[in-house]
Structures are given as C-alpha cells and as structure tokens.
Structure 1
C-alpha cells in the first residue's frame, strides 16, 4: 500500500514570470534628492514580477536575473510571489531595506523577510545585489520544494456511511529497470494485450520514457489485478499496490459521484500554479464540483541545496497539509447499489431515482451504462409521456372534474388534422365514457385530449409546477427539474395533455412528482444535507389534501385495475404507479422512451429507459425490482 500522504517533487519552471503588481510608492522622506524608498519600491515590484533585469545594481557586474531564476527554479511553475517594502533605514548615503515576501508554491504559502542594501551613487540609489535578497539562501544555494498532499475527504452516504473512500488498487505497468532496453517495447505490447488497452500507444510511451521509468498501463481494483504469474511471464511487468478514492463497485453512483485521477495539462494550466504533474483531482461529478473541499490544502517542504550532493539540504520552511473535508450526501448505500445493479444490463440510456417523500432526500440516483457517462438521472431532458398525466389529472381536478367524472375514451381523436390514438394493446373494456380514474389507470390518451378544454395550457403548467415540474432549484449538482410551457396551440396543445410536445422532464423531476403526490405537498429534493437547496422559483399554488388523496387513489388504481397490475404482489404498503411511453424522433413508426413512476410507503421512484416497448413492459420490471430491493 502507498502511504496515506503522497510526496511529489514540485514542478519546474520560471519564477512566477508574468505576474503583475502595482506597488504604491511610500511617502517620501523629504528633501530634493533621490529617495531610497522609491528604489526600494521598484526593487519590490521587480521581485514580484519575477524580472529584476532592470533593477539598478551597484557596479552592474552581477547578472541579477540569472541569480533569481537559479534560486527559485526548483520551486516550480506554481511559484508566485508578492513582495512589499516594510522598512527603509537611510544613513550617510546608504540604506537598509526590509522586504516582506509572501510566496505561493503549489497552492501552499510561505512568508519570509529579507534585507537589501542600497548605496547612493551618481545621484541615484543602486542595489547591492546579493542572492539573499530573493530568499533566505546563502552563497550559491538554491531552493527546492516538495508538496505534501493531505488525505482526500470521503463522499458519505446516509448516516455518514462512506461511499467513496480510499480503497486498494494496483498500478500495473512496465518497470524499465527490470527489462533490457531493446525488449521494453515487446513487453509493453504483451502487457497491453493482457490489460486490453491500446498496445501501440502504450508501447510508444514505454519506448519514449527514461531508462529507469515506471510506465503505468492501467490502474485496477486490487481484486481485478492480473495474477502475479501472468505478470511474471512479461519481462518488466509489475503491479504496484496503491490506494485511490473509489466507490464500493466500479459502477456505484456513477456518474453522479464522479471520479478522481491524475491532473491533465489543461487542468494544470487552469489551476494557475495550484496543481501540477503528479497531483490528483476530481475529474467529474461531485468529485470535480467539490474538489477544493475534498482535496484540502497541500503542505510544503522547502530546502536550500547546493550542487555538491555530499552537502545535506538545509530546511528553510515546512508546513503541514490540511486534510480534505468529507462531503455528506443522502444516498442510501443499499438502495443505490440495487439501482446500479438493476440498470447494469440495460443497453440504452437509463435511470432510476428514488426519493424519500417525507424529507425530499434522494436515496438513489442511478444512471445506466448506456448513457456513456452522462448523468441521465438528474440532467436528462425527455418527454415524460403518460407519467405526466398525473399533472394533467391535477389540472382537471382544479377545474371541477372529479375522479368519477366521465370522460370520452375513444380509439382515436383528431386535432388540426393530426390523429392521436391510444397504445396498441389498450384494453377495449376501458373505452367509451369512463371515469377519470379509469382513464388514468389505463392511460387513455384520447380522453386527456378530448377533455383539454377543462385544463387550459396555463393551468396545466401551474398544476405541473405544484408537483415540482419546472422549478428552479439549486441542489448543489447540475439538475433539471422539468419544463412545461404555459402557452401552446393546436396539435402541440393536444400533445401537452399526454406529456409530449414541448414538455420535458428528467427522471429526477418525475420522482419529485411522485413524491409530492405521496406526501401531499410540494417536495423539494435534497442530495447534500449540509447545503440547503436554493429555491428561486416563484410560489406554487399549494397542493390541497383532497387533491393529493385523489391523485394517490388514481395511482393506486393503475396497480389494482390498470397497466401496473404486475405490482400488486409487491410486499409491503400499497403500491401506486403510473406508466408512460413517449414518442421521439422522426422514424416511422416512431421510437419510444419508456417511463414508470411508483410510490410505496415513504418511497417514490422514477424509472426511465431511452428505448423501450412501453412503460409497463420495459420500465415496469425495473421499478418492481427496485421496490422489492427496498423491502
């Protein structure tokens, strides 16, 4: 295992070149001649900028710039400085200047004072240049630095159980000290084939590296590392034990939680010196967004050295690192693992979101592997199809329609020349004049559209808003809570009644809708308990108790009498549900998204599959598995 704190060499480069600073001149001492303070300020500004080539130097025999660059080169590209004059003592044509320097090296701070001597000559003040002006060095000493990384904070789940924490890994690669130079390329190819990585690219990296380099091919979890016997057959192939911040499994909570890895050149450049080669940072998800909190601050060890290796380094500064702070989430480890496992074999993009209605806590936020690393669960934008009929039903209730009011469920309905119909195997027993509850339970499209005069578009949008769709809430992570236009005409207006047209929602948003029905109030989702969600939304018309009861009864009817009957035998409290199928694209026949939302006790769930036959056939079995796993 690697030690918990990693020490790496500081980056090499120029001494903070390009940093500009305007230094205000100190008050003059009086008199009409040159002022030592002006020269002192000029010196401080030059040291700050990293360019002392124009500083007036006594005798001009010393190469000031070369001296400065030699001294600070070992501090690396992350080295910047701010120098100011704190004191000037002038007497008999000479002056002693005290300089205060605040230097930042790889994100760590080092403050010190130095002194400079000025001499008045030819009606100007000149600097008696010495290396000790730059830093506390002696003679031909130069500085070198090591940054010391602190422990990275964990990502925690419900009850502060670690989700992402330091776990054992193996760095598999080629150790060029263990293979003859002419054979290193062949070893690289053989190892690449064993690891199933790009053999040509890995071979080029191995052959281009130094004679004593270790060239990493792949980092794998300890349990997934190639057997020692397999590595032993490849000259130079080794596995080095290490640790990385990882979840309990490769897919756990991805891509929401994100990953940690080595910095890229672009990240180094953007960090303005705070990061460099060898550092590890969050590359995606929560690990990236909260990297500063999780990473903490590095410690710093600075020493003065000389060219003679027999002379021991002289320590001039040291600071302890500050460990990162763990990030708390509401995710339930058991439910999250179950959701990830359920989606593991789903080929299209998919998602499962589980919410605790009583608190709004997100218990599982899973995006399937078919999403190619995108956060389908929280950021996806899809037509919600018939799951949206819960909002349509609320708009009807607020217009005087009751659950028992008869609505016309016909095989088809035409609006502005476009024919809308029900799904292909819609039960004939639920056609004709049926109650609103029956229409919702069996997901009758034509009844919703035929009754749309009872739910004007602005009222439809208001009803959806009361259930959480279209709200502007900052959860501490990128999240889309849906969009419902308050104006629509013609076929778009008809499509809105069944969750299509310009209506969009994420799986997270539809889980919130289900949670709001289950708890009888507008539920605001919470992922990070230490960060109160910032809700900048306009107030919504509160959900009345009777409205919530009616909606919950309709969702229960989906299970008892409609398209969700397969959920009747799920153990535990009564299950409510709503299926959804949404057409998308230009193909004929159109392809469809499959949705299903469900409630049971203090649990609300949303399931989405990018391509599916129907909500009940494709998303339904996934919902059932999640509900059973939650028992």
Structure 2
C-alpha cells in the first residue's frame, strides 16, 4: 500500500504491578465500585492499581459496538472511569493524620485534651461520645470533636501545606496521564473562588480538618500519603514503569527527606497503630492479619456524599450511601507495604467495607514476600484486652461488616457532582 511502512518492534516495557495482588484485589471487590492501590513504601513501586468495576479492554481493539459502549458508559458504577487516578473523593477521616501533623507543626501539645460530648458548639456531631481525648486517642477513636476544637490552632493554610508535602493535590510521573489533582482549599482559594464571600471563616476549617468540605483526593495520592507516613524518612514517589528496553527507571526512593520531625511522625503513626491493634480502635476486628507477629496500622474514613438535612444518613439506595475508605501499612515495626481501599457508596464506616478488603490484599502482598513468610511462624503478639468498639456501634446500629468477596448491590441511578456539605458520622 502506498505510503505504508513496516512495523518496528518497540522497546519492552516492564511494569511494577504484581498480577497476583491485582487479581486478589479484583476478587475481594466483588461487585463493589471503587479503587485499590498498593505501594512498596521503601521504593514507591506500585504493586496494584485497581479501578472497579473493570472491563475487557480488548473490546476496544477493533472498535466496540455502540450497544456495548453505551452499556459501559451508562452503568452507574462507571467502569470506564479510572477511579485510581481520575476519580476524586473526599478522604474523610483518613485525612486526620495530616491534620494532626499540621497541629504538631503549629505547636499543639499532643497531650492537650478535648472533651468529646458528641456535639460541637456549631452543631456538628461526632459519631460517638468519646470523653477526654488527647491526640493519640483522637486518631485511634477518629474523634471529630477533637479535630473541630483544635484545627484553627493550625489554620487551613498550614493544613493545606502539610497535606501537599504528604502528596495531595499532585500529579505524579508514572507514565499515565489523565490524573485529577483533587483540591486542598486555602484562604487564597476562597478569595479566588468566592469573590462575593472571600473571607475564610474558622467554621470552614472544621470540615477540612476531617477530610470533608471542599477537600478531594484520588486513590494514588492516598497511597503516596500512606507510604510517606509509613516510610517516615523519605518523600516517596510512586513508580509504575520498572524498566524500558532493559533500562531501569529511577526508584521512587531517590527523593528528598520528609520535612517532618521523627517525633511528630511517631505520634501520628502511633495513633494509626492503635486504630488497628487496640480493641477500642475503629478497625480492630477487621485489621487482624493472622500472620504470626505481623501487625498492620491503619485509618478508617467515611466520606459523606449528600446533604442529610434533618433526615437520616442511612439509606438503602446505593448512590445515597457514604463512601467507605481505609488506608493501612504493614508491618508496623518495619513498614514495607501500604494499601489504600476506596469503596464508593460502601456504607457507614471505613471499617465495614474498606478494612476487610485492605486486610485481604495486604495478606496477599505479605505472603508473597519471602522475609514476611518467615515471620508467619513466630508467635502472634499478646491479644489486646479491653472493650471492643467496632466502628458504627456508638449512636446507631452499624451496617454489617462485609467479608470479601462483596455481595452484589442492586443498581440504582447515580447523581454526579462535587463534595456536599458535611454532617459527621462514624469514621
């Protein structure tokens, strides 16, 4: 044919993805919608980057039939949207460790205590009545009242600055475009976006402090954030392409140090360890790995998707349920892997749908690591004691904890739009 040229073989591209981990994540998601990202916190390698529900890309090789395309495009759970990098969500209480680091940078004493009666002076509610809380317990119990009370000691601009240093509102050079940066609001953003009401009000910081309001992030950013917290030294960057033509791409560990003190990071990580290993933590039951002495640290999150008004936050309509998030790293004594799970409209608390799936994915990652397999033979740590308060059990009956794989949920029309006004619920 005139003008045609013979095909030239391209260079081999080797990804960091692990097919076993990717497939396990797909299994445990079942019919749910959302994203899962797994990173090696030592070098930034992305072992899993899942968007669910998925589809067969081979359908598009020779031109997808219109009927098939319309079925995919119109399905409420949006399989054509890459929820790992192009879908943005309010992070909910998974954002609280970032707020805690901002408070510490502002000089807040982590031993300072706030009494949680369940209701803040503005009328905002906490999902429980936690009593006297210091920073450690506020992270462990996901106490909104603590963060409502303390957040303006840092202010929205310092919270934003801290969150950006942890990886939010960034696009990463992973060889894949079409990433959405999300949003971290600030006083300057308020002036630019709302010229008729340009002043940032202290009451607006309360929503930002717990990962609501205008805050939006994607799953890859959450994984980078979790990896940086776990690594504790380096501002780890994600790497998806391992090599091109036999030449390795730069490691995600070839980066500057984190601009946070070791003492401050230890305080925040201590709270995350308690989330998963203290019986009164918000994800204790769902975070037990059963792999010898290996323990996981985590943080639950619930992200509101609608304005409840004076009605109930509970709904049997899929599109009206809260998003369900969980971030985790393991082992706690020498972190290697970070896992992020976002379950779109997954139910009440981050421990009900996100944590069980994160646990199963984390188990797969650890079982593939020869050094971790050796630790499985060691005796488990002493069993935690004290009352167990699973997320959602205070103030309202919880939705049933979901064991993977997930049951199917009836399809219902889904509205689109940005973050809604926030009314706190179980975290």
- TM-score, length of structure 1 as denominator length: 0.46
- The answer (yes or no) to whether the contact 1:339–1:352 under 8 Å persists in 2 is yes
- The answer (yes or no) to whether the contact 2:35–2:342 under 8 Å persists in 1 is yes
1:512 aligns with 2:233: no
* Cα deviations by residue, 1:18-73 (Å, 9 ceiling, x for unpaired): xxxxxxxxxxxxxxxxxxxxxxxxxxxxxxxxxxxxxxxxxxxxxxxxxxxxxxxx
Q: Distance in 2 between matches of 1:432 and 1:586?
A: 27
Mapping for residues 199-348 of structure 1, pairs under 5 Å: 299=6, 321-346=7-32
Match for residue 326 of structure 2?
A: 596
- Given candidates 584, 599, 608, the residue that maps to 2:342 is 608
SS at match of 1:598: strand
- Given candidates 560, 565, 568, the residue that maps to 2:284 is 565
Q: Distance in 2 between matches of 1:477 and 1:356?
A: 19
- The answer (yes or no) to whether the contact 1:474–1:534 under 8 Å persists in 2 is no
Match for residue 99 of structure 2?
A: 392
Match for residue 425 of structure 2?
A: none
- Given candidates 115, 119, 123, the residue that maps to 1:408 is 115
SS at match of 1:338: helix
Q: Distance in 2 between matches of 1:495 and 1:524?
A: 28
Match for residue 544 of structure 1?
A: 261
Q: Distance in 1 between matches of 2:99 and 2:325?
A: 16
TM-aligned CA distance change 1:533 to 1:611, over 3 Å: farther
Cα offset for 1:384? 0.3
SS at match of 1:485: coil
TM-aligned CA distance change 1:403 to 1:366, over 3 Å: same
- The answer (yes or no) to whether the contact 1:473–1:533 under 8 Å persists in 2 is no
Q: Distance in 2 between matches of 1:440 and 1:339?
A: 27
SS at match of 2:260: coil
Alignment: residue pair count: 304
Match for residue 238 of structure 1?
A: none
1:498 aligns with 2:210: yes
- The answer (yes or no) to whether the contact 1:452–1:494 under 8 Å persists in 2 is yes
Match for residue 238 of structure 2?
A: 525
Cα offset for 1:466? 1.9
1:351 aligns with 2:35: yes
Cα offset for 1:508? 1.2
Q: Distance in 2 between matches of 1:507 and 1:363?
A: 14
Match for residue 211 of structure 1?
A: none
Mapping for residues 143-158 of structure 1, pairs under 5 Å: none
SS at match of 1:421: coil
- The answer (yes or no) to whether the contact 2:140–2:275 under 8 Å persists in 1 is yes
- The answer (yes or no) to whether the contact 1:476–1:533 under 8 Å persists in 2 is no
Cα offset for 1:458? 0.9
SS at match of 2:242: coil
Q: Which has the higher strand share?
A: 1
- Given candidates 569, 575, 581, the residue that maps to 2:296 is 575
Cα offset for 1:441? 0.5
Cα offset for 1:573? 2.4
1:469 aligns with 2:204: no
SS at match of 1:546: helix
- The answer (yes or no) to whether the contact 1:378–1:507 under 8 Å persists in 2 is yes
- The answer (yes or no) to whether the contact 2:38–2:339 under 8 Å persists in 1 is yes
- The answer (yes or no) to whether the contact 2:91–2:325 under 8 Å persists in 1 is yes
- The answer (yes or no) to whether the contact 2:166–2:224 under 8 Å persists in 1 is yes
Cα offset for 1:329? 1.2
- TM-score, length of structure 2 as denominator length: 0.67
User: Which has more radius of gyration?
Assistant: 1
Q: Distance in 2 between matches of 1:491 and 1:422?
A: 15
Cα offset for 1:482? 4.0
* Cα deviations by residue, 1:227-278 (Å, 9 ceiling, x for unpaired): xxxxxxxxxxxxxxxxxxxxxxxxxxxxxxxxxxxxxxxxxxxxxxxxxxxx
Structure 2: gaps spanning 5 or more residues: 54-76, 188-199, 314-320, 368-427
Q: Distance in 1 between matches of 2:116 and 2:238?
A: 35
- The answer (yes or no) to whether the contact 1:467–1:523 under 8 Å persists in 2 is no
Match for residue 626 of structure 1?
A: 361
- The answer (yes or no) to whether the contact 1:563–1:579 under 8 Å persists in 2 is yes
Q: Distance in 2 between matches of 1:473 and 1:511?
A: 12
Larger RCO (CA under 8 A, 6+ residues apart): 2
SS at match of 1:548: helix
SS at match of 1:364: strand
1:365 aligns with 2:52: no
SS at match of 2:351: helix
SS at match of 2:210: coil
1:443 aligns with 2:142: yes
Cα offset for 1:546? 1.8
* Cα deviations by residue, 1:258-314 (Å, 9 ceiling, x for unpaired): xxxxxxxxxxxxxxxxxxxxxxxxxxxxxxxxxxxxxxxxx2xxxxxxxxxxxxxxx
Q: Distance in 1 between matches of 2:162 and 2:117?
A: 25
Q: Distance in 2 between matches of 1:564 and 1:401?
A: 26
Cα offset for 1:617? 0.7
